[in-house]
Amino acid sequence: MLTASSLSIGYKTPLASNLDLELRPAELACLIGPNGVGKSTLLRTLAGMEKPLAGAVWLDGGNLHLMPSLELAKRLAVVLTGRVDAGNLSAWALVSLGRHPYTDWLGRLTVRDEAAIERAMRLTDTLVFAERPIHELSDGERQRVMIARALAQILPDSPLPPGEGLGGRAKAQLPISNYQPSNVPTFQRSNVLLLDEPTAFLDLPRRVDMLQLLKRLARETGCAILLSTHDLDLALRIADRLWLLASSGNLTTGIPEELALNGAVARLFQSEGVDFDHASGAFKVHQTVCGPISLHGDKDGVTAAWTWRALERIGYEVHDNGIRRPVHVDVMDPGRWRLTTPHGQSEHATLESLLAALQQ
Amino acid sequence: MPRPPLRPWLFFALLLLLLLAFALSLTLGSVEIPLEQVAHILLGGEPDKASWADILFKFRLPKAITAVLVGAALSTAGLQMQTLFRNPLADPFILGVSSGASLGVALVILGIGAGGALTFIAGLGVFGDFTLAIAASLGAGMVLGAVLLLSRRVQNTLTLLVVGLMFGYLASAVVTLLIYFSQPERVLVFSLWTAGSFGGVTWSQMRVFAPAALLGLLLGFVMMKPLNALLLGDDYARSLGLNVRRARFWIIVSASLLAGVSTAFCGPIWFIGVAVPHVARSLLNSADHRALLPASMLMGAAFALIADVIAQSPGSQHTLPLNVVMSLFGVPIILWVILRQKQLRQSFAS
C-alpha cells in the first residue's frame, strides 16, 4: 500500500502541505483539481521523481524516497503526460523497455520477460498491433501501449505459460532468470501505477474506454492506480475514490458519491467560478436570464431530461415540482410538446420549434 | 510472440562489406598490390617486389586499422549523442570535444613563438610524432572535463548541449585568432590537420590509439542498455530505475573518449558520426541500441575504409583530403538512404 503522512510537495515553496493519503490495492483513484494546483507535482512526488519538502511517502512500510531505484522500479511505474515519440520502436519493443529493471547488463529478455510483455499487452488489448511502429498508432492506442509498458514493469511474475509458444532458444534460457526477489514477499508487495492525465489527448469515447480499462486493470491485477484528470464527470462515475486537490493546497479524498453529496466537489470548483450541481452531478454552465419556466411530463424520463437541458441552455430557470408557472411546457409524447404562455398555447413537434416559439 | 525481426543476415552482410573494404584498402593505393600478394605477405611470405612488404606493413595496414577504429568510434559516439540529446543533428563533437582538440593543435602549430615552419617541423621530430596527438588530447580533455563536471550538476540534458556548443564557439574563436596572427606556412600545416587523415598513425602511436579506441567502444557496449532506457526521455528512464546522471556521465565519457582519440590522431572527421547512425536506423528499422550499436560500428568502419580508398585516388600520386571525400561521396548516398525513409522526424522525440 502506498501512503503518505504530513507530506509537503512543491519546488522550494510548498504547493500543498500536510497531505495524508493512502492509495489502496485494486482501486482506481482519480486526482482532480484546477490547473497549476500541483497535481503533476503530487504524482511525481509519489513516484519518487521529486523529493518531498516535508513528510514522507511509504510503500509497503518502506520510505519510497530511500528505496533503491531498481527495487522501486519493480513496484511502481508511471505514464507521464504528453505524447511519447520514440521513433522506430514497435509497440512490442516499447513495452519491452518496461523490463529494464529485470534484464541483465546487455538488456537481454528472458522467457519470463517475454511472458510479462505478452501478459501486459494482452491485458491492455494491444497485442493486435504489437508489431506496428508506435508513430503509426492513434493517440488512444499509443496510450494503451504506454500503460502496457508500465504494467510490464511492475506486474509480478505470473506462472510461466505452458511450453507451447516458447521457442527452443527461449527454453534453453529458462533456468537463467534475472528476476531478483525482493525482501518483501511477493504477496505483500503492492504494485502502483501512476498516470498523469492519461486522457488528455483522447476524444470522449476513448476517454471512457481508457478509464474503464484502468479500472479493469486495477481489479484484475490488484494494482493500485492513481491518475490525474480533468474529466470530473467520468471520474465521478468510474473512480473508486476521488482525490480533490484544491488551490488552497487541501486534499480531500473519499468515494465519489460521498464527496458529491457533502459538497466537497462543489467547493473545489466554486473557488474557480464554476458551479457544480449536486443533484445532476454536473457543472452548471448556463446563467439564467429568462426567468422561471415549469416543465411537466414523464412519459419517458429521457425526453423530459433533454427538454430540461434545452430550456436551461437558452437561459430559463426550470422547475418540475408540479407548480405551474406562467410559462409552462408539457411533454405529451416523445416528439410532441405543448407550450402554454400568458399569450396562448401552441404545440410543437421538435425541440427546435419549441425553443423558437419561446425565444420570440 | 511478436518479436521484432532481428535480421541476422544484415549483420552478416555488413561484416562481409567490412572485410571487402579492408581487403580493398590493403590492395589499392598509389601502387596496386594484388590481393593474393597481400595475403601472402601478411602470412609472412616473401613478396614479388620487396617494396610491397614495406608499403603494406608501414603504411597500409596501420592506416586500414586506424580507419576501422575511427569509423566504428565516430559512429558509436554519434549514435550515443543523438540518443542522449534526442536530436538527429547531434554528432560526436557536439559537446565541443573536437573544438578543444583543434585548440590544442592550433596552439602547438600556430602558437609556438617566432621561427619558421621548418624549425617547427624539425621540432616535431624532437618531440616524437606524438606532439599533435598529445596537444589534441589535452585540448579535448580540458573541454571534456569541464562538460563532465557540469553533467554531474546539471539536471537537464539540454543545458549540457548548450554549454557544449558555447565551449565550441569559444575554442573556435581562439583558433581563428591564432590563425589570424600566424604565418601562412603554419596555417597550411594546421589546415592539413583539419582535413583529416587516417595515414598519420604509426605503429608506436597505435599502441596508444588502439587501446583507447577499444576501451571507448567497450564502454559503448556497456552503455547500450541505458541508451535504450533513455529512448523515452530522462523521466521514464529514471522511473525504470536508471541512475540518469550516472548513465549520462558514462555515455559522455565513452562518446568523448571515442571522438577525442579519433580527433587527436586523425584530425576532426565530420561526416561519419552524424550520417552512419541514421543509415543504421533506416536499414534496421529499429531504435533498439542492441542492434543499432553493432550495426553502426560495422557500417562506420566500412564507410571509413572506402572513403579512404577513394581519397588515395588509386593509381595516381594525388591524395584528396579525407573530409572532402566523405562529404562529396557520402552525402548523396546517405541522402538517398534517408529520404527513402519517410519518418526521419519520427525517429526522434520532439
Query: What domains appear along chain A, each with residue ranges and CATH number?
Result: 2-274 (3.40.50.300), 292-359 (no CATH)
- A117 min Cα distance to partner chain B (Å): 9
Q: By the CB < 8 Å criterion, does B287 face chain A?
A: yes
- B2 min Cα distance to partner chain A (Å): 6
Indicate whether A299 pLDDT > 70.
no
- What are the phi and psi torsion angles at A58 (to 5°)? -120, 135
Please indicate whether, in this complex, the C-beta atoms of A78 and B2 are within 8 angstroms of each other.
no
Q: Looking at residue A285, what is its pLDDT?
A: 66
Lowest average pLDDT, out of A146-160, A166-180, A213-227, B183-197, goes to A166-180
Q: Which residue type, as a one-letter code, is found at position B167?
A: F
Indicate whether A111 pLDDT > 80.
yes
Please report residues of A whose CB lies closer than 8 A to that of B235. Answer: 49, 78, 80
Q: Looking at residue B126, what is its pLDDT?
A: 41
Q: Looking at residue B297, what is its pLDDT?
A: 96
Lowest average pLDDT, out of A208-222, A244-258, B112-126, B263-277, goes to B112-126
Of residues B119 and A71, more confidence is placed in A71
Q: By the CB < 8 Å criterion, does B191 face chain A?
A: no
Alpha carbon distance A69, A53 (integer Å): 19
Please report residues of B whose CB lies closer than 8 A to that of A94. Answer: 232
Q: Which of A69, A74, A87 sits opposite B287 (nearest CB)?
A: A87
Q: By the CB < 8 Å criterion, does B344 face chain A?
A: no
Indicate whether A248 pLDDT > 60.
yes
pLDDT, mean over chain A: 85
Q: By the CB < 8 Å criterion, does B241 face chain A?
A: yes
Domain ranges of chain B: 8-347
Average pLDDT over residues A215-240: 92
What whole-number percentage of chain A has pLDDT above 70? 86
Q: Which of A86, A88, A97 sits opposite B285 (nearest CB)?
A: A88
**What is each CA distance from A276 to A197, A236, A270, A311, A353, in whole angstroms?**
22, 12, 7, 18, 30
Other Cβ atoms less than 10 A from the Cβ of B126: the count is 7
| pLDDT tens for chain B, residues 1 to 350 | 445 556 788 899 999 999 999 999 998 887 888 888 888 888 887 777 878 888 888 889 999 999 999 999 999 999 999 998 888 888 888 888 888 888 888 888 887 654 444 455 545 544 456 777 788 888 888 887 888 788 777 777 778 888 888 888 888 899 889 888 888 888 888 888 888 889 888 888 898 899 999 999 999 999 999 999 999 888 999 999 999 989 988 998 899 889 989 988 898 898 899 999 988 988 888 888 999 999 999 999 999 999 999 998 777 778 888 888 888 888 887 787 777 765 555 555 43
Q: B342: buried, middle or exposed (CB in 10 Å: 19+, 13-18, 0-12)?
A: exposed
Q: Which residue type, as a one-letter code, is found at position B237?
A: A
Q: Looking at residue B270, what is its pLDDT?
A: 86
Please indicate whether, in this complex, the C-beta atoms of A97 and B242 are within 8 angstroms of each other.
no
- A357 min Cα distance to partner chain B (Å): 54
- Are A317 and A291 contacting, i.e. CB atoms less than 8 angstroms apart? yes
| For chain A, counts of helices (H) and of strands (E) | 12, 17
Q: Looking at residue B98, what is its pLDDT?
A: 84
State CA B267 to chain mean position distance: 9
Residue where the block lists cell 511525481 = A44
Q: Which of A49, A84, A88 sits opposite B232 (nearest CB)?
A: A84
Q: Take residue B219 and report the three cell numbers written for it.
A: 564502454
Q: By the CB < 8 Å criterion, does A131 face chain B?
A: yes
State CA A279 to chain mean position distance: 22
Indicate whether A47 pLDDT > 90.
yes
Q: Which of A11, A50, A97 best probes binding to B when mutated, by most B CB atoms within 10 angstroms?
A: A97
Average pLDDT over residues A244-252: 90
Q: By the CB < 8 Å criterion, does B338 face chain A?
A: no
- B220 min Cα distance to partner chain A (Å): 11
- A94 min Cα distance to partner chain B (Å): 9
Please report residues of A whose CB lies closer than 8 A to that of B221. Answer: 106
Q: Which of A70, A118, A127 sits opposite B241 (nearest CB)?
A: A70
Q: By the CB < 8 Å criterion, does A218 face chain B?
A: no
Q: Looking at residue B115, what is its pLDDT?
A: 46
Alpha carbon distance B103, B184 (integer Å): 18
Q: Take residue A336 and report the three cell numbers written for it.
A: 410532441
Please indicate whether, in this complex, the C-beta atoms of A97 and B239 are within 8 angstroms of each other.
no
Q: Where are the beta strands (DSSP E) in A122-262?
A: 192-196, 224-228, 241-245, 251-254
Please report residues of A whose CB lies closer than 8 A to that of B240. Answer: 73, 97-98, 100-101, 153
pLDDT digits (tens, 9 = 90+) for A281-298: 677 766 667 788 998 876
Residue in A with minimal Cα distance to B346: A87
Structure confidence at residue A320 as a pLDDT band (50, 70, 90): confident
ipTM above threshold 0.85: no
Lowest average pLDDT, out of A145-149, A267-271, B89-93, B110-114, goes to B110-114
**What is each CA distance from B289 to A231, A234, B110, B222, B284, in whole angstroms?**
39, 40, 41, 11, 11
Q: By the CB < 8 Å criterion, does B40 face chain A?
A: no
Q: Take residue A293 and report the three cell numbers written for it.
A: 419556466
Q: By the CB < 8 Å criterion, does A200 face chain B?
A: no
Q: Which of B240, B343, B348 sits opposite A101 (nearest CB)?
A: B240
Of residues B348 and A249, more confidence is placed in A249
Please report residues of A whose CB lies closer than 8 A to that of B244. Answer: none
Q: By the CB < 8 Å criterion, does B236 face chain A?
A: yes
Q: Looking at residue B134, what is its pLDDT?
A: 80
Q: Which of A49, A89, A93 sits opposite B238 (nearest CB)?
A: A49
Indicate whether A273 pLDDT > 70.
no
Average pLDDT over residues A300-326: 84
- Number of C-alpha atoms within 13 angstroms, CB side, residue B189? 19
Q: Which of A100, A132, A149, A191 best probes binding to B when mutated, by most B CB atoms within 10 angstroms?
A: A100
Structure confidence at residue A55 as a pLDDT band (50, 70, 90): very high
Please indicate whether, in this complex, the C-beta atoms of A69 and B348 are within 8 angstroms of each other.
no
Q: Which of A98, A135, A165 sits opposite B343 (nearest CB)?
A: A135
Q: Looking at residue A158, what is its pLDDT?
A: 58
Q: Take residue A178 and report the three cell numbers written for it.
A: 534475472
Please indicate whether, in this complex, the C-beta atoms of A106 and B225 are within 8 angstroms of each other.
yes
Please report residues of A whose CB lies closer than 8 A to that of B1. Answer: 114, 117-118, 165
Q: By the CB < 8 Å criterion, does A7 face chain B?
A: no
Please indicate whether, in this complex, the C-beta atoms of B231 and A87 are within 8 angstroms of each other.
yes
Indicate whether A73 pLDDT > 60.
yes
Q: Which residue type, as a one-letter code, is found at position B37?
A: Q
State CA A243 to chain mean position distance: 11
Q: Looking at residue A176, what is its pLDDT?
A: 39
Q: Which of A76, A86, A130 sits opposite B349 (nearest CB)?
A: A86
Q: By the CB < 8 Å criterion, does A81 face chain B?
A: no
Residue in A with minimal Cα distance to B285: A88
- B24 min Cα distance to partner chain A (Å): 34
Lowest average pLDDT, out of A61-70, A118-127, B178-187, goes to B178-187
Q: Looking at residue B51, what is its pLDDT?
A: 82
Q: What's the CATH code, domain B8-347?
A: 1.10.3470.10
- B190 min Cα distance to partner chain A (Å): 40
Query: DSSP string of B188-214?
Result: HHHHHHHH--STT--HHHHHHHHHHHH
Residue (of A63, A33, A60, A58) closest to A271 by Cα position: A33
Lowest average pLDDT, out of A21-35, A182-196, B150-164, goes to A182-196
Please report residues of B whose CB lies closer than 8 A to that of A98. Answer: 240
Q: Which of B228, B241, B287 sits opposite A101 (nearest CB)?
A: B241
- Are B329 and B303 contacting, i.e. CB atoms less than 8 angstroms apart? no
Please indicate whether, in this complex, the C-beta atoms of A69 and B242 are within 8 angstroms of each other.
yes
